[in-house]
Chains A and B, each alone.
Chain A
Amino acid sequence: PPERKRFYQNVSISQGEGGFEINLDHRKLKTPQAKLFTVPSEALAIAVATEWDSQKDTIKFYTMHLTTLCNTALDNPTQRNKMQLIRAAVKFLETDTICYRVEEPAALAELQKNEWDPVVAWAEKRYNVAIGSSTSILGPNIPASTKETFVSHLASYNMWALQGIEYVITQLKSLILSMGLIDRHITVEKAVLLSRLEEEYQIQRWGSVEWAHDYDLCELCARTAAGTLFVHLCSESSTVKHKLLQD
């Protein structure tokens, strides 16, 4: 499909009944399903406006991750309710990247142990749960009580923040790394590195198609950073108008 040209001069935000809106010249931004684009946080609105104002001649939607996240929250195209979203997120624990260990090669097994064990230990302590790790192809055996703890914890987030959390988990393929980010225990760069530990190891051993590697890495960093920022901006009590958020 041909790229959309930038058709607006000025980008601004304004406050309406439903929250903060984005104005492209005199037009109000709408979602793909033609709903009025409104966000509950002013900081988030500013960041979205910045995405639109950063477009030069053509609009590169693949760079506008915050806009995309807001559209998903507003349109809810997969039509999932809060509990379905939570269960989808917690289900990832069964195949969590940092719980799946190799036995060979020894160097990789060692790297996984050194890099991933501390994060698992952090999560176990922080949430008072048992997680562990496994070299079995079936993955770790996560106790039901552990899953229920995470379900309860995620239930404390509103629907918008949950969309963001589930998005980050899908990108990193790890619930634990995502919680590490949400709880500000690790940075985005670290979370992405830990998520891609095996790839990075193989690349150091075997080399890579350089641009493809950097391309994937940048894209994952961008999406993960956007998702994390989105979650925090949607759950800060000082910036969010809670009555505008629908649970």
Chain B
Amino acid sequence: RADPRHASDRAGRPYRETPAYQHIVAAFRAHRVTSEKLCRARQELHFQAATYLCLLRSVRQHAALHREYHGRGERSPEEVAGLVGFRLPQQPGGKG
């Protein structure tokens, strides 16, 4: 159940309407009847769902960390100068 809540939909569709959620639900329903033959298939499906959840969660966390710590990029020379209280000289024709 935790799985689909991570699937944020750009258009703002409820997660129940996303293809990924519908596929997962259909797969679980198909395996609802318990028998020896299908039991292993259910275990495989559980593992797959857990793996997909791990993927979604890790990607989300990684992207958040990337934005926070890698997003800003390098400072411009003007910014660096400003950090230590200088202003770069203005040269109308650019550097020699």
Contact = CB atoms under 8 A, between A and B. Distances in A.
**Chains A and B bind each other:** yes
Interface of A: 13, 42-43, 46-47, 49-50, 53-56, 60, 62-63, 65-66, 184, 187-189, 211-212, 214-215, 218-219, 221-222, 225-226, 228-229, 232-233, 236
Contacts, number: 86
Contact of B63 (A60, A212, A233): A60
B47 interface: yes
B62 A218 contact: yes
Interface of B: 7-10, 18-20, 23, 27, 43-44, 47-48, 50-52, 54-55, 57-59, 61-63, 65-66, 68-69
Given A50-B19, A54-B8, A229-B48, A222 B69 contact: no
B48 to A, nearest CB: 6
B23 A215 contact: no
A106 B52 CA distance: 37
A212 B63 CA distance: 13
Given A214-B61, A225-B54, 9 more contacts: A50-B7, A53-B9, A56-B10, A184-B47, A187-B54, A189-B54, A211-B69, A221-B57, A232-B44
Given A50-B20, A53-B10, A221 B58 contact: yes
